[in-house]
Amino acid sequence: MDFNFLNDYFMFFIHGAKITLLLSIFTIFLGVLMGIVLALLRLSNNVVLKSISAAYIEFIRGTPLLVQLYIVYYGLPLIGIEFPDIDALGSSFPDLMSGVVALSLNSGAYVSEIIRAGIQAVEKGQMEASRSLGLTYGMSMYYIILPQAFKNILPALGNEFITIIKESAIVSIIGIHDLMYNTDIVRGNTYKPFEPLIIAAIMYFIMTFTLSRLIGFVEGRLKVSD
Would you say residue 202 lies in a domain? yes
- Domain of residue 53, CATH code: 1.10.3720.10
Q: How far apart are CA 159 and CA 25, in angstroms?
A: 14
pLDDT value at position 226? 58
The domain containing residue 188 runs over which residues?
6-225
pLDDT value at position 147? 81
Compute the Cα dihedral for 120, 126, 129, 135 and give only its sign.
Answer: negative
Q: What are the pLDDT digits (tens) for 110-122?
A: 999 999 988 888 8
Per-residue pLDDT of the chain (226 residues; tens, 9 = 90+): 788 899 999 999 999 999 999 999 999 999 999 999 999 999 888 999 999 999 999 999 999 999 999 999 999 888 888 777 766 666 677 888 899 999 999 999 999 999 998 888 888 777 878 878 778 877 888 778 888 888 888 888 889 999 999 999 999 999 898 999 999 999 999 999 899 999 999 999 999 999 999 988 888 877 765 5
Query: In terms of residues, how long is the chain?
Result: 226
Would you say residue 171 lies in a domain? yes
Would you say residue 188 lies in a domain? yes
Would you say residue 1 lies in a domain? no
What total of structural domains would you count in the chain? 1
Q: How far apart are CA 198 and CA 206, in angstroms?
A: 12
Would you say residue 199 lies in a domain? yes
Would you say residue 135 lies in a domain? yes
Consecutive H or E run containing 177? none
